[in-house]
Structure 1
Amino acid sequence: MFDTKLSSAVTEIIERVRVEGEKALKEFSRRFDGYDGPIKVQEEELENSSVVSDEDREIIERIIERVKDYHVRQLPRDELYVKNGSVYGLVYRPLRRIGIYVPGGKPLPSSLIMTAIPARIAGVEEIVVVSPPRDGKLNPHLLYVARRLGISEIYKIGGAHAVAAMAFGVGMKPVEKIFGPGNKYVNEAKRQVFGVVGIDSLAGPSEVCVVADDSADERYVIADLLSQKEHDVDAKAWLLTTSVHLAERCKVPGISVKLMKTLEECIDEVNSIAPEHLEIITKDPLSLLERVRNAGAVYIGPYTPVAAADYFLGVNHVLPTGGAAVYSSVLTVFDFMKRMTVASVSREEFMGNRYLGVRMAQIEGMEAHRRSLEVRE
């Protein structure tokens, strides 16, 4: 349901930042973040990320390499073909400058990895990171990841005012598209600035759905369902199963359990829910994959839990929520690129097919279009 009070509050914040600039930005930073210092992270603060242990650096390095390996395979090539002496095709160009919002409640360096790496692979030149500070500081692991990925433009701001700053270029140059999850104020701010800039999605609470039969280990199922509840009190967890025993054993607070007659019915229910994450833990999980239409990501088998995908599998964990998997998809390299059609038509091809456009222009009553076609000799 649309929250008019929330929308009005966010509109006021955005408008004040747009009109008053850094004065409003600093005021909101004091009010919401309890921070009154320099907004931009200084070089010496980035160097302080050296407090991250060698062991953690090695872990981060391994994860980065796995994420790179998966996403580099997505990089598209320009597609041009020749037909009747004319050239047609589709070419790809990266966005030049993007903003990444990293939530402050639980600063998630993994989310920065999952967003910044496909951006770099796409060819994005400038990446801005914003994140609300805690006690005037940002998480050292977050700063280390940023530095490791060549990101030096980092701001200690959060909330709707951070989104407005990125969109309108307050205290920084404006970005072309904003990525990253946040609370309801961040989501509403992203919704309101869409059109001024692009946005990735409107992320809601985390979701996981497990489809399982009597071959599934109940310990795995319960652990996987509860793992996503850790993100947010509003996170959703569903178990769809054909096993009476599993249904009984998984009646845990916070987990919605539904006993179905067949696994096919389970998948039909999945398509109605359109969950962010779907796990299939059955005797023959691959046989069900083709039936799945609506899910942000599908994890197959007992050793592919959501938590593994969140961290080290290499697949992206930025996924549609709130039923948006019906019409949207996982974050990929393509989200950081634009597609442009290209055409170069020969005279012979143009003259031979001009009549098609002339008649369509007449049907639509577009006389200037018709003249543009007929003036050519």
Structure 2
Amino acid sequence: MNLQQYVSEILEEVKENGVDAVKKYSKQFDNYDGDFTLKDEEWDIDEQISTEDKEIIDKIIERLQIYHSKQLKEDIFYSNDYGSKYGLIQRPINRIGIYVPGGKPLPSSLLMVAVPAKIAGVREIAITSSPKDGKINPYIIYIAKVLGIKEVYKIGGIQAIAAMSYGIGMKKVDKIYGPGNQYVNEAKRQVFGEVGIDSLAGPSEICVIADETANKEYVLNDLLSQLEHGHESKSFLVTTSKEIYDFCDQEGVERYLYGTIEECADKTNEIAPEHLEIITKEPEKVVPLIQNAGAIYLGEYTPVPSADYFLGVNHVLPTGKAARFSSVLNVSDFIKQISIAKVTREELLKERYLGIRLAEVEGMNQHKRSMEVRE
């Protein structure tokens, strides 16, 4: 049975059999057959996290809030010479689900999704995560408490995506966010349309553009950092320095040597990396040459891991060349834009010939009549 069929059958079973199916797969995959929701005492994790760690998380949240709050957009309204009014209004998604991998807990992923969601004004947030030994990672619970999120569910894997999508054991969500393994990704792909999804994240990627001024130790360690995510992760060096090219001859690092920075930029745009570091004499001057990258980090002191954890920029990025057409997760991903118009009689009667003719071209007679009938 292939992956697509395997995931489809589990989704369908959960849809048909509800909570019983979720419990079946939770026991099978997570060795857990208890309640999905947290008991009151399970929210009390103060003694499980040090004061220092709480302060660190609080500071990271503050940095994320500062960066993402600047992304909020105002509604747009304008009037034309006829006195008609047009605009674009912003409305937050009402309810979202955040999937947080539980096998190797990733509280940073929760932070990167939940903080901009709260800033956008999302009213309801449900977190799902696989329990380990029957428990949710205390850092996930702490972040939920700090951000005022009251729903955390002990559900992981395909069954978690199904539960959020179909409203099994919880209220149905409108859109699902968060990374997962190939099974979770396939489940997200299949439920798209039933709910919205953020993206289908692939293996982590890093590309470093470096010239002869770059510190070779910095470059190599940054290239190796993303390979830590797993054997499918990708690491690219694009350089004008033979010394750095030779120094970074390591397993897993794909290297390219060019004569000019312009050629390096062209290759980088072809790669369209998730993360791009530019470590050159004047990195800002390279930025205009870059068209395709999930995120750009400039200079020797902006390594990707710093952005992954504490800078405040978002680390949920397009992978697998999707940077050609996709963007970093930001506040707008949690907001719907709705067009609005109020047209005066004068404008409709004078300009409706435009729409009438197009309706004629398309053979849409009732569309035409709708515009013609008004006096």
Contact 1:107 1:139 in 2 (8 A): yes
Which residue is 2:342 aligned to?
344
Contact 1:358 1:370 in 2 (8 A): yes
Separation in 2 of the partners of 1:231 and 1:40? 30
Q: What amino acid is aligned across from residue 23 of structure 1 in structure 2?
A: D
Q: What amino acid maps onto 1:182 in structure 2?
A: G
Find the counterpart in structure 2 of residue 292 from structure 1: 290
Measure the CA separation in 1 of the matches of 2:289 and 2:267.
11
In 1, the alpha carbon distance for the partners of 2:66 and 2:47 equals 26
For 2:5, the equivalent position in structure 1 comes to 8
- Between the aligned partners of 2:209 and 2:103, the Cα distance in structure 1 is 31
Residue number in structure 2 paired with 1:168: 166
Aligned residue for 2:262?
264
Count of matched residue pairs: 374
1-structure distance, mates of 2:173, 2:119: 18
Q: Is it true that 1:21 corresponds to 2:18 in the alignment? A: yes
One-letter code of the match for 1:118?
P
The separation in 2 between residues aligned to 1:216 and 1:299, in whole angstroms, is: 14
For residues 44-78 of structure 1, what are the alpha-carbon distances to aligned partners after superposition, in whole Å with 9 as ceiling and x for unaligned? 11112442110001111111000000000111110
Q: Which residue identity lines up with residue 5 of structure 2 in the other structure?
A: S
What are the Cα deviations for residues 70-103 of structure 1, in whole angstroms up to 9, with x where unaligned? Answer: 0001111100001120000100100010000011
The corresponding residue for 1:129 is 127
Note the 1:100-249 alignment, pairs <5 A.
Answer: 100-249=98-247
Give the conservation status (yes or no) of the 8 Å contact 1:240–1:257: yes
Matched residues in 2 for 1:52 and 1:178: separation? 28
SS in structure 1 at match of 2:356: helix
Cα distance in structure 2, aligned partners of 1:160 and 1:269? 37
Report the TM-score when normalising by structure 2.
0.98
1:321 counterpart letter in structure 2: T
Distance in 1, Cα, partners of 2:104 & 2:25: 20
* CA distance in 2: counterparts of 1:312 and 1:284, whole angstroms: 24
Do structure 1's residue 75 and structure 2's residue 72 form an aligned pair? Answer: yes
Amino acid paired to 1:22: V
Give the aligned residue type for 2:144.
Answer: A
Q: In the alignment, what sits opposite 1:354?
A: 352
Q: TM-score, normalised by structure 1?
A: 0.98
Are positions 1:42 and 2:66 aligned together?
Answer: no
Q: 1:185 Cα shift?
A: 0.2
2:329 paired residue among 328, 331, 338: 331
Percent identical: 58
Moved over 3 A (4+): none
How far apart, in 1, do the equivalents of 2:133 and 2:230 lie? 22
Offset at residue 230 of structure 1 (A)? 1.4
Amino acid of the residue matched to residue 272 of structure 2? A
1:214-238 CA-partner distances (Å, limit 9, x unpaired): 1111111111111111122211111
Deviation at 1:340, TM superposition (A): 0.6
C-alpha deviations, 1:256-287, integer Å up to 9, x for none? Answer: 11111211111111111111000000011111
**Structure 1, 138-147 or 342-351: larger mean CA deviation:** 138-147
Matched, 1:32 2:29: yes
The amino acid that maps onto 2:24 is E
Residues in 1 aligned to 2:333 and 2:310: alpha-carbon distance in whole angstroms: 21
Q: Is the 8 A contact 1:29 1:157 kept in 2?
A: yes
CA contact (8 A) 1:50 1:144 kept: no
Distance 1:49 1:253 in 2: 43
More divergent stretch after superposition (335-344 vs 46-55):
46-55
Structure 1 counterpart SS, 2:219: helix
Counterpart position of 1:91: 89
Label 1:6 to 1:119 Cα distance change in 2 as closer, same or farther (>3 A): same
